[in-house]
A and B are shown apart, each in its own frame.
Chain A
Amino acid sequence: EPEVTQTPSHQVTQMGQEVILRCVPISNHLYFYWYRQILGQKVEFLVSFYNNEISEKSEIFDDQFSVERPDGSNFTLKIRSTKLEDSAMYFCASSTPGQGSPSNQPQHFGDGTRLSIL
């Protein structure tokens, strides 16, 4: 069964450095998402991306964050000038288009990248 893949599985970065988290969504999916889960807390939505632009973002997704689809297969999350509180598990997800907008199809998640800021 096709799956969302994320790399690296674990990233350790010094505070203040930039980090890029990478995702390969399922190939025929057109909607892409980033979520994060701070240890012991709820999964939180960060951003959705469709047709090469951000379709929705949360208040967490400030100017420190950016997303990009640099080619036909990858979807990246860049975090500039990382802070200790950015330490979390970051999940990428994708979904197919369905009836209506936004998509009513299930979102499929990757295994996540554990980001540790020192």
Chain B
Amino acid sequence: KQEVTQIPAALSVPEGENLVLNCSFTDSAIYNLQWFRQDPGKGLTSLLLIQSSQREQTSGRLNASLDKSSGRSTLYIAASQPGDSATYLCAVKVASGTYKYIFGTGTRLKVLA
């Protein structure tokens, strides 16, 4: 059964710092992996999607990498800003004909001004 873990659970950094959020999954046979941002009381905003055949994806200050063999993905945020404060979730779509994403518990990020 696929399990998704995110470390750390919470992170507080000063503005301008580069940071890395980690996501690990137990079954390497994934179809793709998606990173989301969740603001308090709000829905999930899709940030980046990495297909199983890809190693990384970039969007602005965000870079997500995927290492299927080790069951890991990282989300790199460059030059963090207070507006980046949110909970970041990773989710994996397991291969073999499933439509669902399996989510991690998230990393709650606070960027201090």
Contact = CB atoms under 8 A, between A and B. Distances in A.
Interface of A: 4, 6, 31, 33, 35, 41-45, 48, 50, 55-56, 58, 91, 93, 101-112, 114
A31 B99 contact: yes
Interface in B51-77: 51
A91 B102 CA distance: 14
A112 B32 contact: no
Interface of B: 31-32, 34, 36, 41-46, 49, 51, 89, 91, 93, 97-106
Given A42-B103, A43-B101, A106-B46, 4 more contacts: A33-B100, A48-B99, A58-B100, A102-B93
Contacts of A44: 103
A109 B99 contact: no
A105 B34 CA distance: 10
Contacts of A50: 99
27 contacts: A4-B43, A33-B100, A42-B103, A42-B105, A43-B44, A43-B91, A44-B103, A45-B101, A48-B99, A48-B100, A55-B99, A56-B98, A56-B100, A91-B43, A93-B44, A102-B93, A102-B97, A102-B98, A102-B99, A104-B51, A105-B49, A107-B34, A107-B46, A108-B46, A109-B36, A109-B44, A109-B46
A55 to B, nearest CB: 6
B43 A111 contact: yes
Contacts of A55: 99
A43 B89 contact: yes
Contacts of A105: 49
A41 B87 CA distance: 13
A45 B101 CA distance: 7
A33 B27 CA distance: 23
A110 B91 CA distance: 16
A101 B100 CA distance: 12
